Structure formats: C-alpha cells, structure tokens
Amino acid sequence: LAKTTQPISMDSYEGQEVNITCSHNNIATNDYITWYQQFPSQGPRFIIQGYKTKVTNEVASLFIPADRKSSTLSLPRVSLSDTAVYYCLVGDLGESGGGADGLTFGKGTHLIIQP
C-alpha cells in the first residue's frame, strides 16, 4: 500500500511560486503519481501525473527525485483562484496490484493564497 503524506495546509501570496511536497516512501515500481485540485463544493480536477524526473504542463510542474519516495507539485505565480485543496495519489499501472490503493485521496493540502 503506497500511502502518501502531505502537509495539512499552506499559505502563500499572489505572484509567488508554491511547492507542495508529498511523501510516498513505499511507492512501488509500477506506481504513477497524480495530483488533483479541488475547490469548495466541487469535484476534484486532474492537474498533472508523472512517473519520474520532471513533468510540466500549462498549469503546473511535477518534480520526482530519482528514489521516487517523494514528489513536489509546483504552481508558478499563484493567484487567489489557486486557493484550493490539493491531493497527491499514488497508484499501480499493472495487474499485480492497485485497485483501491491508487484511489486514496485522503485529506489533501489546503492551500490558501493571500493578496
């Protein structure tokens, strides 16, 4: 079971870069790392997914060190609208495992952006 640990909450200011780190010491070889964003009273929304090194899209970057025991979601130049809960998930790609394990959202990280 690839359990994840994230900060409960963080805050920052508009225009800053925000980095949220997720620990997953028991990550398995076939596990991918996925981040979701959730606004109040809305369903989570996919942000980014990666396996190793660095992944970047129009919204965020995901940094994964060589040992893959942690990952960092980087949000460049945040705005007030980035205030949300961010979830880190770790899941299996193969038939050997996964199932419900990769669907554990937990309580996420509450990110608050101030003016």
Partner 1 sequence: DSGVTQTPKHLITATGQRVTLRCSPRSGDLSVYWYQQSLDQGLQFLIQYYNGEERAKGNILERFSAQQFPDLHSELNLSSLELGDSALYFCASSVLGRKGVQETQYFGPGTRLLVL
Q: Which helix (H) or strand (E) holds 68?
A: none
Looking only at residues 17 through 56 of this chain, which bind partner 1 when binding is defined by CB under 8 A?
30-32, 34, 36, 38, 41-46, 49
Q: Which stretch binds partner 1 (CB under 8 A): 14-22, 59-67, 73-81, 85-93?
A: 85-93
**81 near partner 1, rule: CB under 8 A:** no
- DSSP-derived 3-state class of residue 64: strand
For residues 13 and 103, give the distance between their C-alpha atoms in angstroms, rounded to a whole number: 31
Query: Residue 42: helix, strand or coil by DSSP?
Result: coil
Q: How far apart are the first and last CA of the chain?
A: 39
Decide whether 99 or 115 has the Cβ nearer to partner 1.
99
Q: Which is nearer to partner 1, 9 or 114 (CB)?
A: 9
**Angle, CA 74 vertex, CA 28 and CA 31 arms, to 5°:** 10
Contact between 92 and partner 1 by CB under 8 A: the answer reads yes
Contacting positions for partner 1 (CB under 8 A) = 30-32, 34, 36, 38, 41-46, 49, 87, 89-100, 102-108
